[in-house]
Structure 1
């Protein structure tokens, strides 16, 4: 090769290697405008200051409930500022999380609306969900005491006309994106991928017990038999009151949970009579039991209508999915106790506060 060509190629190679590589910016220009153009500044603060009704719709809870929630979790969420950047305050972290849970948006949507990185948004949501669960589960999902069990039973007798009922139990499939290398473990009988949510609800549409994270392939009965609730029932460590007479009778009957046909019959779990040719008394019993059982079904409806992230497949890893569902259950009880019902959250919940006299209908069928 001509020495001149060698020289030219050598110079070109040297210049190529010396060329500065294009570096990524430390903070993207979109995220750099968080303090001036992010939704925390442009939307959350104006709604808080001027329109409590729209704030409720935006945050899924009242201003007073939001402030109380913030006071509970502020300390574990507080981080120190660094020389590189200031920390995101706990108030903004909660706003980001509640928007994710309440609107059903994606983490990428949070990136554009709140001007934070997508990975940062994911870290914030998971941290807040874990903190809410750990901080508030003792208050919002306490272990039922003997007195609490009697109060639950009184509520079902008053509102559902079903005595000695400790709660309505049912399972729900929470849709997820198929986890990698999981085979058919998370595929349920409806042929989509999910994790299991087992819950017990009282007559006020609040959750008394939740168990989250089982494989989607497991049935409701399997969820119940594998739960800590069943273990406590079997071991006698659950605070179940002693058998008490039914109204108008002197025969002592055990207190029990009520479930649908998917659950197995036991001393402390009642299910409907099976078959189509049943007696009038059995039909009345089935109708009474169905009336009591609808409270957990309505609770699931209220849960998913308020926290709309549960309306779509969760596109995060399974452990993150479990954190999300647990947090939604805590927030369901928290908002239910402080703010009551919001009409928009119950529009599609069939059977909620139905005033029909089920006993008359059942007997006259």
Structure 2
């Protein structure tokens, strides 16, 4: 019974005014006593748990990492997925952005331990609850510092390592590398999209539910001949298809209005007819003069099968780039527990670090790539054992090919089957 109800009852019983005042004082005192008891019961058992205070004595950052750095750099690389030199570079570049001031109550975490926790989370996919015991840092603190470190890495490196080419010379350099390494002239990139699994966001319904049967966001990327991402779209809902994402992307808009800086059409090697520069895609995309994809009908001719082999040989670069990305940053192989905005930030960070690794240490992950033997037979790379980096659905329907694109694909088919554009081993691949 509340105090007001009890007072009303006493008033109805004709209790005199003095007794009513006395009762009110008693009730107020009882209420204050209950509130003090409640605050006492809700008080923390520990302000800081004692084992967390021994971070510098027992934590991995202060004990294990210095030992690995000094005596076993290869294990340091296996532990944090980056070599010691790159860890030092990252710490130097983003350290000022993630440094906090000490307070009267506690000392701030060192920037190095924040970076180490974030890299271990990205590299292994360990949950915050397990990282807490490794580094002796509370999980709620880890959830904040991971976002801060990821944002600092993206802000510091995105424009440096992941800027999309905007001039004809830059695109032509990519095309020349595709021609040299993969026998695919005039290709300026391979485009593909991948699902990154996540838990169902609150109040999202089926917005993030994909055709594979799990919740995800989509990472779409354009990859150059050296497995670097030149353009990415991160965070589309899992229910969206490759075609939907690309159709509403800035990449398509700039290609079609001519502001992206593609070179003018030029003749193919050993040929005299001008051919536009183009992107390599799969059947999820519409056939356009700037987007070439394999034939998809049945009962293909030998010439069409050779064309498909040549296109797929270049397009495989995108699959391998995603494979390197997921093999190094295995948080992408887990079902990520964060909210969608944090997941997008983490994926962007992984892409930035991937490109930085390809620039600084291009040979570190070649062992997980698809390889070709002396007869150009494909040997599947170790990355194909990964999970939860699934291709998005191949869409059909409104993505109808233009007549000019069909004519261009037919011309390329004849070119790849002619003495001007063929390679010696292609007939053995079909």
One of 105, 126, 147 as aligned partner of 2:126 = 105
Residue in 1 aligned with 2:88?
67
TM-score (norm 1): 0.91
Output the CA distance in 1 between the equivalents of 2:134 and 2:95: 23
Q: CA RMSD in A?
A: 2.1
C-alpha displacement of 1:235: 2.0
Distance in 2 separating the partners of 1:356 and 1:97 = 43
- Structure 2: segments with no counterpart, 5+ residues: 1-29, 378-422
- Counterpart of 1:4 in structure 2 is none
Whole-angstrom CA distance in 1 between matches of 2:34 and 2:98: 48
Match of 2:146 among 125, 139, 145: 125
Match of 1:79 in 2: 100
Partner of 1:206: 228
**Which TM-score applies when normalising by structure 2?**
0.78
Work out whether residues 195 and 216 of structure 1, in 8 Å CA contact, stay in contact via their aligned partners in 2. yes
1:237-295 Cα offsets, whole Å, 9 max, x none, are 10211111111111110000001111111121111112122222221111000000000
Q: Write the distance in 2 (CA, Å) between the matches of 1:16 and 1:265.
A: 73
Distance 1:341 1:195 in 2: 29
**Which residue is equivalent to 2:360?**
338
Q: Runs of 5+ in structure 1 lacking a partner?
A: 1-11
Which one is further off, 276-285 or 196-205? 276-285
* Whole-angstrom distance in 1 between the partners of 2:354 and 2:204: 30
Residue 212 of structure 2 is aligned with which of 177, 190, 194? 190
| Structure 2 match to 1:23 | 43
1:355: how far off? 5.0
What is the Cα deviation at residue 79 of structure 1? 1.4
Task: Tell me, in whole angstroms, the C-alpha distance in 2 between the residues paired with 1:341 and 1:109.
Answer: 31
TM-superposed CA distance for 1:18, in Å, is 6.9
Select 1:173's aligned residue among 192, 195, 198: 195
Largest Rg, 1 or 2: 2
Residue 342 of structure 2 is matched in structure 1 by 320
Corresponding residue SS for 1:210: strand
Alignment match, 2:253: 231
Shift of 1:307: 0.5
Matched, 1:93 2:114: yes
Residue 312 of structure 1: CA displacement?
A: 0.6
2:333 to 291, 302, 311: 311
Alpha-carbon distance between aligned partners in 2 of 1:271 and 1:18, rounded to the nearest angstrom? 72
2-structure distance, mates of 1:245, 1:14: 88
Shift of the 264–119 alpha-carbon distance from structure 1 to 2, 3 Å rule, reads same
Separation of aligned partners in 2, 1:210 and 1:73: 22
Question: For 1:18 and 1:282, how far apart are their aligned partners in 2?
Answer: 82
Tell me if 1:363 matches 2:427.
yes
What does residue 4 of structure 2 align with? none
Q: Secondary structure at the match of 2:235?
A: strand
Matched residue pairs, number? Answer: 352
> What pairs with 1:236-251 in structure 2 (closer than 5 Å)?
236-251=258-273
Q: Distance in 2 between matches of 1:15 and 1:78?
A: 44
Partner-residue secondary structure (3-state), 1:262 = coil
